[in-house]
C-alpha cells in the first residue's frame, strides 16, 4: 500500500480567489495538476478527492485533497472527521493556510508548534489537543499596513497571484510533500 497524505486547504468558500482562501487555491491547483476529482462529502462537510499519484519522490503516493465547507475559523470538525476516516495520523496531514505577516508567496513548512495567530489552525490544534503534530504549510500573503486586514485579504487576488502557483511554487509544494512522505515512511 502506498504512503498516504491528507492535504487540507483552509479558506472560505464565499471568497474563493482571495488571499484569505489561499489554502483552497493551493488545493485547487494540486487537484488540476494531478487530475484529482473532488466532490462534496456531506459526512465530513467539505469537498474531498483521492488519487494515487506518481510524483514527489518518484514513488506512488495516495493523496487526499480536502476543502472544508465550514468557515475558516471553525473548520476543525470537518478537518478532524476527514483525518479520522483517511490517514488517521496527524503527522500524515498537511494544513495549508495563509500567513498574513510574512513575505508574499513564500512557503514555510512546519511540524507542530503554534498557530501563529491563525484562528483556523488554532481550531484544528484545539480539536486535536496533544496530538496536534500535523504539518503546516504557511503561505505568506504579506500585509499592507495602510489597509484594514479584512480589506486586504478578502478582495479577489490579481490573476498573476493565482497563476503564480502553476509555476515554480507548485514545484516547491510538491517537493515538500515528497519530503514529508519520505519522513513518514521511515517512522
Residue 160 confidence (pLDDT) above 70: no
**Average pLDDT score, the chain:** 84
pLDDT value of position 134: 95
CA–CA gap between residue 144 and residue 108 (Å, rounded): 20
Choose among 133, 125, 28: nearest CA to 88.
133
**What are 116's three cell numbers?**
501563529
User: pLDDT (tens digit, 9 = 90+) per residue, 46-79?
Assistant: 999 999 886 656 678 899 999 999 888 999 999 9
What backbone phi and psi angles, to 5 degrees, belong to 91?
Answer: -70, -10
Q: Indicate if the pLDDT at residue 32 is higher than 80.
A: yes
- Pairing of β 39-41 and β 4-9: unpaired
* Catalytic residue selected from 20, 24, 97, 138: 20
Identify the pLDDT of residue 163.
47
Could you tell me the CATH number of the domain that includes residue 67?
Answer: 3.40.50.1470
Q: What is the pTM of this model?
A: 0.89
Q: How many domains does the chain have?
A: 1
175 flagged as catalytic = no
> What residues make up the domain containing 59?
4-186
- State yes or no: pLDDT of 87 exceeds 80: yes
Q: How many residues appear in the chain?
A: 187
Taking only the tens place, the pLDDT of each residue in 170-180 is: 778 888 888 88
Amino acid at each position: 500500500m502506498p504512503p498516504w497524505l491528507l492535504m487540507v486547504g483552509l479558506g472560505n468558500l464565499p471568497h474563493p480567489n482571495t488571499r484569505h482562501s489561499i489554502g483552497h487555491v493551493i488545493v485547487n491547483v494540486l487537484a488540476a495538476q494531478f487530475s484529482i476529482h473532488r466532490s462534496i462529502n456531506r459526512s465530513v462537510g467539505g469537498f474531498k478527492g483521492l488519487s494515487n499519484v506518481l510524483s514527489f519522490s518518484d514513488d506512488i503516493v495516495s493523496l487526499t485533497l480536502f476543502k472544508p465547507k465550514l468557515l475558516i475559523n471553525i473548520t476543525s470538525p470537518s478537518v478532524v472527521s476527514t483525518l479520522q476516516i483517511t490517514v488517521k495520523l496527524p503527522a500524515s496531514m498537511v494544513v495549508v493556510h495563509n500567513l498574513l505577516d510574512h513575505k508574499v508567496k513564500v512557503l514555510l513548512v512546519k511540524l507542530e508548534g503554534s498557530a501563529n495567530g491563525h484562528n483556523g489552525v488554532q481550531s484544528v490544534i484545539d480539536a486535536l489537543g496533544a496530538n496536534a503534530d500535523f504539518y503546516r504549510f504557511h503561505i505568506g500573503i504579506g500585509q499592507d499596513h495602510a489597509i484594514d486586514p479584512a480589506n486586504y485579504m478578502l478582495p479577489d487576488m490579481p490573476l498573476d497571484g493565482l497563476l503564480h502557483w502553476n509555476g515554480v511554487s507548485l514545484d516547491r509544494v510538491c517537493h515538500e510533500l515528497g519530503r514529508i512522505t519520505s519522513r513518514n515512511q521511515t517512522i
